[in-house]
Amino acid sequence: LPRLEADLAAMERLGRSHYYYGVMTWRAWTPLSDEPNGACGARGDDGPTPAGPSRSLRKLMQQRKTKCSGAIGPFPFADGSLQALSADLLHALARSPITVNFSRAHLSRETEPFWTHEDAAVGYLLFHVAMQQGLPLTYVVLSSWRHNKFWINWLPPDHPSLPDEHVVNTHKVVTTMMAQIALDAYENTTYKADPIRCVDCTKAWGWACCHESPFGRAPIDKFACCNKDT
């Protein structure tokens, strides 16, 4: 928790609002889809970095012009290992008619297929609400494995996936022994709090396409695209 608190304090120093924080990757989503999981196009684990468009982002930007022409995005979404929303963003999400209708429609289903792609759907809803309300989303992206360990593994001995001085979170701690190992690792390292740096969304992230959709325009000029340093 102290490590997450340090990151929250760093985010506050950015002087922005509507924070969305976590380990992220890209998706596109078709609103009003007959399927519970409306994700359209490429799926991958390669999220936003300042090094330019990832493979998944490049594919999705191409697919938005073809088979995903009725979708919105691409947009980043935080996977289930760690995600945090600031209170202003959470309130905007929860109070939006889009969210209310989405929740009501899927909770009322009594037969399969059921909604299972919850992480991407949250990212979609945030993005769609931002489109409707012109919200200044602040994406804060962690690096997979450097800042977030998806699980604990002490093998191989020269490169174990244990928490170190860069790690904010450890996911999939499922036994008391694993919990104690993670706690010991946290307590025996000093958090370096890798800085959060914001870059140009279109130039550095390569998020240069497909801001227009049948459902409106993404206000990318209001967004902040930020990464923890690697």
> pLDDT by residue (tens digit) across 131-147?
999 999 999 999 998 99
CA distances for 188 relative to 3, 163, 165, 184, 197, angstroms: 13, 10, 9, 6, 27
Query: Taking Cα atoms as reference points, which of 219, 223, 220, 209 lies closest to residue 68?
Result: 209
User: Using an 8 Å Cβ cutoff, are 127 and 102 in contact?
Assistant: no
CB-CB neighbours of 115 under 10 Å: 16
> Does the pLDDT at position 108 exceed 90?
no
Q: For 41-52, what is each residue's pLDDT tens digit?
A: 998 889 999 999
Hey, what are 50's tokens?
Answer: 């300042």
Higher pLDDT, 215 or 174: 215
Hey, what are 62's tokens?
Answer: 């191409």
| pTM (predicted TM-score) | 0.93
DSSP code of 106? H
Residue 113 phi, psi dihedral angles, 5° rounding: -85, 145
> Does the pLDDT at position 5 exceed 80?
yes
- Tell me the average pLDDT across 67-73: 94
